[in-house]
Structure 1
Amino acid sequence: MHWIQNYNPFGNMLVSFVVACVPIIFFFWSLAVRKMKGYKAGLLTVLVAVLEAVIIYRMPVSLALESTIFGGLQGLWPIGWIIITAVFLYKLTVVSGKFNIIQSSIASITEDRRLQALLIAFSFGAFLEGTAGYGTPVAIAGALLAGLGFNPFYAAGLCLIANTAPVAFGGVGIPILTAGQVSGIDVHALSQMVGRQVPILSIFVPFWLVFIMAGWKKTIEVLPAILVCGVSFALTQFFTSNFLGPELPDVTSALVSMVALAVLLRFWQPKSVFRFKSEKEWNGRVSGAGITEQAAALSENQNRYSLLQITRAWSPFILLVAIICLWGASANIKDLLGKATMLIPIPGLHLAIEKIQPIVSLATPYPAIFKFDILAATGTAILLACVLSKFLIGISWKTWIQTFGDTLKELTFPLIMVVSVLGFAYIENYSGMSATLGLGLASTGSVFPFVSPIIGWLGVFLTGSDTSSNALFSNLQKVSAHQIGVDPTLLIAANSTGGVAAKMISPQSIAVATAATGQVGKEGSLFMFTIKHSLLLVAIIGIITLLQAYVFHWMIP
């Protein structure tokens, strides 16, 4: 069976665009207005999308069902596998009692929630994004913040917002590499262009993160830390992306910002220690003045633990970083692990659909190959860290296995949500609905540079991945750029930069965040918490792109 996509089923692009928005609007409504649980909203949305694909787009039922199931498989592997192993690693540190030592060691650097958020949600999260990507930074950083005593809901929301600046270079630069491959634009030029957009966000996001937490007055109190964290990250990101390429900006920027902030805190601390409303603020310079029980315990314990005890407590996360770096950075290890990878064409779906390249009307078969990289997957790297951590933190195999079982039980509904939203993403792509949305936005003419990041934003919302968004829309951005006389390098880069603002509202990311912080069932509330920040950031990126297109031409490589 062969079926050719039709991006304008009504013969009127505006009407087709509006109808293609229906599943997305339904999803927004079910989460934000009806406040459905995430897995229910996801399942109903994928049902709406399948019905529209079959009835409106005339997609054969068998292809619609197969593409949805294919997406669901991608939700289980590799994304679901990462969620399971990342949360499992955190839970091992809790059941072993080592997380108390981790709490204490972080408190020895700073007990201020604002500064802890900068260190963990922004800098450490960026490091995890650069080495692993997918949901790893939100899962690990969110669990760490919740374990430190953050309100779990805020821990989830703050980590989602913090995971913005590093996304374009995540997973060792794979979003940029994919954009270059799809569009034929030089990868180094794309890296340079993204590196002249994203650093502006890298300075803004730490400030905005603290402002959300504490308000204007309390944000100004820690402005030196915000500037050191954000500026050091942004400058390193700029230089790495412009002179080394797309693979290392996140890793180098995260390391530099963590070290810079830690050094600053050795010589400077805010006048008062910030706590959430459920906690008490206290003046750290007056011993014992209003200290909460948890803060007092941490202060008492932080000098009690030896360097060996602290290192042992952190060993699961140290192992995690080392193994993920090894998994992603060594070509020899990649090749060795890749030998176990199975590429499985989906029967009946692989090459059965023909997608049409915009403008040139060239039909090309749409591949559908499930990649089961059992050894090379990031989740497997995290599992290895879990196995080795068993010996380092000293727990029995019985406890290890029981903790794994408990993790699976807790993640059942979040995994259903991930499977459903990936099914939704794939039916959108294979039916042609996502292309209808992109083409509709691309018809905006001279203001398209402002709209260009919104297409990337939409792509990440639909797929949960900046890489997938670039694969989906890079060629559309290139063709549209030629039509309006703008350098395609700018608009393809804007697709990736705009996409980072949608990571925080992607259903996949929200499912990971709620699972990691024990907030399952609050996906709608978390979506409402992040959506306004997402819209603000994508608007800022749109203005930056518009100015670079027509005013600051010199910024385009």
Structure 2
Amino acid sequence: MYQQILDPVAHSLAWSSLVAALPLLTLFVLLGVLRVTAWAASLVSLALALAIAILVYGMPAGQALLAGSEGAAFGFFPILWIVINAIWVFQMTVETGHFDVLRRSFAQVSDDQRIQAIIIAFSFGALIEALAGFGTPVAVTSVMLIALGFKPLKAAVVALTANTAPVAFGAMATPIITLGKVTGLPSDTLGAMVGRQTPILAVFVPLALVVIVDGLRGLRETWPAALVCGVVFAIGQYATSNFISVPLADVVASLLSAAAVVALVRIWRPREPYGEPAVIAGGAADEPTPEFAGRVGRPDARADVVRAYAPYAIIIVVFVIGQIPAVKSLLDRATYVVKWPGLHLLNAKGGVSPLPTFTFNLLTTPGTQMLVAGVITMIALRLSVPRALRAYGATLHQLRWAIVTVMAVLALAFVMNASGQTITLGTWMAGAGAAFALLSPILGWLGVAVTGSDTSSNSLFGALQVTAAGRAGLSEVLMAAANSSGGVLGKMISPQNLAIAAAAVGLNGREGDIFRRVIAWSLLFLACLCVLSALQASPVLSWMVP
């Protein structure tokens, strides 16, 4: 049995926090400065976290290793289980050549890559986030952008940056529901508060996307489409989360924003469409396959167009069916909750830690539902079983280093959580008093940067946010919501999601390059959210707090 310690270094939270932050600092320096591959950087940081847990925090070596093993298992199931099956669906469209059909069909809506980035990465990505979450939107939208001719690095950066504003309501509002459970606050109230923060962020994300695609020229020439998309999404997310249903916030907002942009481009188009020559990346079908090469110069058959869209329609239908209460209840019968063997932890107050509890939700996990969608896709695309299995094998080969990275990063997160390193950092920040309103989103950002999940960050820091709010005389609802809202901005720099993006576009080993492209956007948006949180805690915007 190990009990967490908050201040092992000279009984000082400040010094202990400095030591506790070393694994994260090492990870980001190795990735962003020294350009070490993500799997190697993750393993080095994991080793450092284990050393600090054992030598500084006094955690028994066996307990530390068991915590890491649980994290690695969680990294594979459910995280990698989702990504592997999502990329498999993509590989089957490559195998049959329907990926090329999809590219040409999207080009008919708009042949401007700036508009395509808005519709696919932001609106469609938000819909996938609403239904699945856990890195699925990055995996799906990045390869769709590749199909449209985006360069691999740009596709990854666009997909990661777009996967921000929708995250707090992802996977049918799982982060908000989790936050309600750990804080004891009503999830509807928390959802309403988050719905008064992230919609403001959503207005600016599409504008950032067109800048990423085409710089300031892209902003000058396509700001009407970006602004329409952001504003409509913001209104939809705010109205749905506050007055209709928190779990449906992203579903409604994504569909409304996509419809608004499609309607706009029917009456308005940029003066000159922007596009780049397609390049081959990591085996993705960025040039027409031989099976469909002859159709480049003439329209695709309607049946082929329907089949090209079928995988994504199937994904949506499968996930929607999975959310029907009666179906979800039936699938939940295959959910098993177990205690991780040999791992026994107490929190700093002496209570039993929930960390060793591992949930095998075999049928309700998005990964299994994505597998079902893949099998249906195989039938819809008329792909034989041997070809489908070859595509699955190609997927595993493509993701081999991402698998190592994600499992190592989650092992790192679990070791830091189990030993008390993460709580040390959070408790130190919570001692800022009234200034905590400014720092609260940073805590959520840090949690997602470590774990790759807004749900995990809320589990980790939600109760701490409420406690700190009580001590500082701040709104508990506001601080808890700020944790979730700030967390969405840590998603794009999480090593887990960097690895997913790199693997999806065939840039294994270049996670550091992607990190350097997204870190500035992450910090810029985080700074704005911190200011918003501080203003909402002050008389200036206190009227926004329910």
TM value normalised by structure 1: 0.93
Residue number in structure 2 paired with 1:495: 483
Equivalent pair of 1:108/1:302 in contact (CA under 8 Å): no
Deviations 1:508-533 (A, max 9, x none): 11111011110101011111111111
In the alignment, does 2:494 pair up with 1:506? yes
Contact 1:142-1:155 within 8 A present in 2 as well: yes
Alignment counterpart, residue 309 of structure 1, candidates 290, 301, 304 = 304
Q: Is the 8 A contact 1:132 1:378 kept in 2?
A: yes
CA offset at residue 276 of structure 1?
3.9
CA pair 367-12 structure 1, distance change in 2 beyond 3 A: closer
Query: Could you say which residue in structure 2 is the equivalent of 1:425?
Result: 413
Per the TM alignment, residue 429 of structure 1 is displaced from its structure 2 partner at its CA by 0.6
The amino acid that maps onto 2:333 is: K
- Cα-to-partner distance string for 1:492-512 (whole Å, 9 max, x where unaligned): 000000000000000111111
* 1:365 CA displacement: 3.5
Contact 1:346 1:370 in 2 (8 A): yes
Q: CA deviation at 1:301?
A: 5.1
What is the Cα-based RMSD across aligned positions, in Å? 1.8
**Range with greater deviation from structure 2 (187-196 or 389-398):** 389-398
CA distance, structure 1, for counterparts of residue 355 and residue 238 of structure 2: 36
| Mapped pair 1:461 → 2:455 | no
Of the three residues 442, 447, 466, the one matched with 2:435 is 447
- Whether the 8 Å contact between 1:177 and 1:246 is mirrored in structure 2 is no
| SS of residue in 2 equivalent to 1:234 | helix
Checking the alignment, whether the CA contact within 8 Å between 2:149 and 2:278 is kept in structure 1 is no
After TM superposition, give the deviation of residue 366 of structure 1 in Å.
Answer: 3.5
1:327-342 residue pairs with structure 2 within 5 A? 327=322, 329-342=323-336
Mapped partners of 1:40, 1:495: distance in 2 = 30
Could you tell me which amino acid in structure 1 is paired with residue 319 of structure 2? I
Aligned residue in 1 for 2:542: 553
Partners of 2:176 and 2:332 lie apart in 1 by: 22
Q: Relative to structure 1, is the Cα distance of residues 382 and 409 closer, same or farther in structure 2, using a 3 angstrom cutoff?
A: same
Equivalent residue runs for 1:30-41 within 5 Å: 30-41=30-41
**1:283 matched to which residue of 2?**
none
Q: Determine the structure 2 residue equivalent to 1:285.
A: none
Whether the 8 Å contact between 2:102 and 2:147 is mirrored in structure 1 is no
1:78 matched residue in structure 2: 78
Q: Which runs of 5+ in 2 are unaligned?
A: 280-286
Distance in 2 (alpha carbons) for counterparts of 1:541 and 1:303 = 49
Instruction: Give the deviation of 1:244 after TM superposition.
Output: 1.9
Indicate if the aligned counterparts of 1:456 and 1:497 stay in contact, CA closer than 8 A: yes
Q: Which residue of 1 aligns with 2:100?
A: 100
Specify the code of the residue in structure 2 equivalent to 1:338: D
Note if 1:346 corresponds to 2:340: yes
**Which segment drifts farther, 493-502 or 225-234?**
225-234
Q: Which residue of 2 aligns with 1:150?
A: 150
Q: Which residue of 1 aligns with 2:187?
A: 187
Give the 5 Å matches for 1:469-488: 469-488=457-476
Q: Residue 355 of structure 1 corresponds to which residue in structure 2?
A: 347
What pairs with 1:92-491 in structure 2 (closer than 5 Å)?
Answer: 92-276=92-276, 304-327=299-322, 329-349=323-343, 352-356=344-348, 361=349, 363-491=351-479
**CA–CA distance in 2 between the matches of 1:22 and 1:273?**
47
Aligned pair count? 534
CA distance in 1, matches of 2:96, 2:152: 21
Query: Which digits, 9 at most, give the CA deviation of each residue in 1:476-505, with x for residues without a partner?
Result: 111111111111100000000000000000
Counterparts of 2:520 and 2:278, CA distance in 1: 24
| 1:303 to partner: Cα distance | 6.7
Q: Counterparts of 1:444 and 1:160 in 2: how far apart (Å)?
A: 31
Query: Which has the larger displacement, 134-143 or 442-451?
Result: 442-451
The one-letter amino acid paired with 1:109 is V
Judged with a 3 Å threshold, the aligned counterparts in structure 2 of structure 1 residues 385 and 277 are, in CA distance, closer, same or farther, namely closer
Distance 1:363 1:369 in 2: 14
Q: What is the deviation of 1:223?
A: 1.6
**Correspondence for 2:282:** none
Identity, % of aligned positions: 39
More deviation in 304-313 or 255-264?
304-313
Structure 1 residues 310 and 347, CA, compared in 2 at 3 Å: closer, same or farther? same
Distance 1:95 1:365, change over 3 A: closer
CA distance in structure 1 between the aligned counterparts of 2:41 and 2:543, rounded to whole angstroms = 46
Structure 2: how far apart are the matches of 1:277 and 1:387? 33
Alignment partners' CA distance in 2, 1:484 and 1:333: 44
Amino acid at match of 2:488: V
Hey, what does 1:537 align to over in structure 2?
Answer: 525
What is the CA distance between 1:424 and its match in structure 2?
A: 0.4
Give the AA of the match of 1:336.
L
What is the Cα deviation at residue 341 of structure 1? 2.2
Segment drifting more, 122-131 vs 312-321:
312-321
Question: More deviation in 386-395 or 60-69?
Answer: 386-395
Q: Which moved more, 1:3-12 or 1:307-316?
A: 307-316
| Cα deviations by residue, 1:384-404 (Å, 9 ceiling, x for unpaired) | 111111121122211111111
**What is the distance in 2 between the residues matched to 1:275 and 1:461?**
32
Question: 1:89 deviation in Å?
Answer: 0.3
* Partner amino acid, structure 2, of 1:433: Q
SS in 2 for 1:222: helix
1:286 corresponds to:
none
For the residues of structure 1 that align with 2:189 and 2:65, how far apart are their CA atoms?
40
Where does residue 290 of structure 1 map in the other structure? Answer: none
The answer to whether the 8 A contact 1:104-1:302 is kept is: no
Contact in 2 for aligned 1:112/1:275 (Cα 8 Å): yes
Residue equivalent to 1:515: 503
Deviates more, 1:264-273 or 1:152-161: 264-273
Shift of 1:182: 0.5
Q: Deviations over 1:19-48 (max 9, x none)?
A: 111111110111112211111111111111
Residue 348 of structure 1 aligns to a residue whose secondary structure is coil
Mapped contact 1:170–1:250 kept (Cα < 8 A): yes
Equivalent position SS for 2:359: strand
Deviations 1:449-481 (A, max 9, x none): 110000000000111100010111111111111
Q: How far apart in 1 are the matches of 2:179 and 2:336?
A: 24
